[in-house]
Amino acid sequence: MPLGEIPGDKSDSRYCGVETQFNDDMPQLLALNINGGFDFVVASLMDPAYRPSLMDNDSSRSGVLPFAGSDLVLSPLQWSSHVVGKISSWIDLDSEDEILRKGSEIALKQEVAWASHLSLQACLLPTPKGESCANYARCVNQILQDLNNNMQLWLRIPLEKSDDDAICGSSDNLGGGQIDSWELWNSFRLLCEHHSQLSIALDVLSSLPSANSLGRWFGESVRAAIIHTNAFLTNARGYPCLSKRHQKLITAFFNHSIQIVVSGKAVHNLPVGSSELADNHTDNHVDGLPIHPLRSYLDYVGYLYQRLGPLPEQERFELGYRDFLQSPLQPLMDNLEAQTYETFEKDTVKYIQYQRAICKALLDRIPDEKASSVTTVLMVVGAGRGPLVRASLQAAEETGRKLRVYAVEKNPNAVVTLHSLVKLEGWEDIVTIVSSDMRCWDAPEKADILVSELLGSFGDNELSPECLDGAQRFLKQEGISIPSSYTSFIQPVTAAKLFNDVKSHKDLVHFETAYVVKLHRVARLAPCQPVFTFTHPEYSNKKNNQRYKKLKFEIPSDTGSAMVHGFAGYFDATLYKDVHLGIEPSTATPNMFSWFPIFFPLRTPVCLQPGSPLEVHLWRSCGATKVWYEWCVTSPIASAIHNCNGRSYWVGL
């Protein structure tokens, strides 16, 4: 059964599976666990006693293998919906023993082929046995190249701590905690060329690494978290529970659509009839069926899930945009469509901030004794369908100041709506509509206040500097620009999904494009740093909108190694004095959804070792007809300079 139906949750993370022992009666195995409350089983498909080297020649020639029954024992829907195949754990493809190594290769290919035949959604691969996994990765890569369906291969990786990274718990981690298990995963996926069907199943043990170390995994392709029963504590009533750090981790897994799998034997002696678990349970039975021995663990995982509650309204709105790459708007080259205007206009928080800024500007310019006699000239440049015109007039009403408004808009379709709005609201005597590009318009008078919403996800990436430079000539020398300044920011991120989505296009252009994306499955590896700042009005004689910035990032020492797939970009804008809006994570305006971050991908991801700084270079270049960005990494290794001369991505003037 689902862990809990939460409104607005469309993810697959509300299902919980169970790792099982081999059973050649698959229908019975499935019935036992599904009736016990679990949604799927992680089950061995081949008898663990099977070894290719032990098969005699006759049976080898016949091709008959000791699988768990035929494909007919379950329906195709049962196989695909309720079974994850578990590849035999004895397999060791990097063994010094040649017989074991060759037998492992035969068995691996046989088992994955059978799982693919059954149309399973996923197969769990055993953890690499030693530090070297080259041959194992080679065999898996061969399989991935030949797969003719969308079956995922989950590589089992223990979520290990290193000896100097112990936080709590016992020393039950696999391999003795001598290596960083992320290094194991990274080596394997590099050998498999970042294949999109290779994912991770994390073994969650009783000891956890540091929060920074854990954070790396949320940018990787983790599909499942296998929680071992011995990772659970016992509460005062004798029932299993998890430490606060484990609880926080599981909640994060839910938020990232990572499925939970319970593994191991029941290690808690539950007091029968002493809790709500025993309510409606008689003689250790539910509805006539025996209680699953791991049911209390499942119930606790379900409790953690249901404790999340419904998604906030903003997150429900953004759900469909998570990790979806979009090309940034071209506001000068293209006219926006009604649907785009509609989406932006719903962002009430943004317009509340603009109204606050305009109120403060009006109060600063016009003292109370002149409120009824002085009219402020306010120009909205890039008026769209009028939300800033409305915010300006509401600010005038709130402050008791008089306004004369010019609404300048180049999109003829939006101008039609503006005329209708002005007529509907009775603003004819206050608002003058100008159907023109702000850079070409000859204003009949100069403005006291210039208001615009030309900002992009990276601040200047929708050509706000160029547009406002063109409009500045009709702003009075002492006039106010809203916004008055804005700064872009970047930070390195792990973003395996985004990298694979870009890679799937198999061309250079997509790796040299900056995308707008609602970042979700990412790991933010270091705090943001400022990149480019623009101020308005700008009266310098040496005004130039080209920029260059060199940045150095250092990830926290307890993070361990990490993979940088690209850079997340944000902005923060000062509208007027202390009124700001932005999406830079540490200062982001709450509940505002007009802008998603921007993502600058790297053609070749960079592996960052602990203590090794990441040196990044970013350019904003301007030509006669376009503006573009170029970016590269120079340390710890040098990357190519991306988007040289704007060959792949630019914003048209």
Consult the annotation and say whether 131 binds a ligand. no
Tokens 């350019």, residue located? 619
Q: Establish whether 462 is a catalytic residue.
A: yes
379 closest CA partner among 358, 406, 403:
406
Bridge-based pairing of strands 375-381 and 289-290 is: unpaired
| CA dihedral over 490, 492, 497, 503, signed as positive or negative | positive
Q: Give the C-alpha separation, 618 to 630, whole Å.
A: 6
The amino acid that residue 513 corresponds to is T
Q: Which of 111, 160, 220, 462 is catalytic?
A: 462
Tokens 């005038």, residue located? 396
Bridge-based pairing of strands 598-608 and 562-576 is: antiparallel
Q: Establish whether 538 is a catalytic residue.
A: no
With beta carbons less than 8 A apart as the criterion, state whether 179 and 163 touch.
no
With beta carbons less than 8 A apart as the criterion, state whether 367 and 361 touch.
no
Q: Give the C-alpha separation, 45 to 107, whole Å.
A: 11
Q: Give the C-alpha separation, 618 to 636, whole Å.
A: 16
Q: How many CB atoms lie under 10 A from the CB of residue 302?
A: 18
Consult the annotation and say whether 486 binds a ligand. no
Consult the annotation and say whether 351 binds a ligand. yes
DSSP string, 47-74: -TT--GGGS-HHHHHHT---BSS-GGGS
Consult the annotation and say whether 539 binds a ligand. no
Consult the annotation and say whether 350 binds a ligand. yes
Strand ranges for 1-106 from DSSP E: 16-19, 40-44, 83-86
With beta carbons less than 8 A apart as the criterion, state whether 251 and 13 touch.
no
Q: Which of 105, 220, 453, 512 is catalytic?
A: 453
74 closest CA partner among 83, 84, 65:
83
Instruction: State the alpha helices, DSSP H only, in 309-347.
Output: 313-318, 338-345
Residue ranges of the binding site for S-adenosyl-L-methionine: 341, 350-351, 409, 437-438
Positions marked catalytic: 453, 462
Q: What residues are designated binding site?
A: 341, 350-351, 409, 437-438
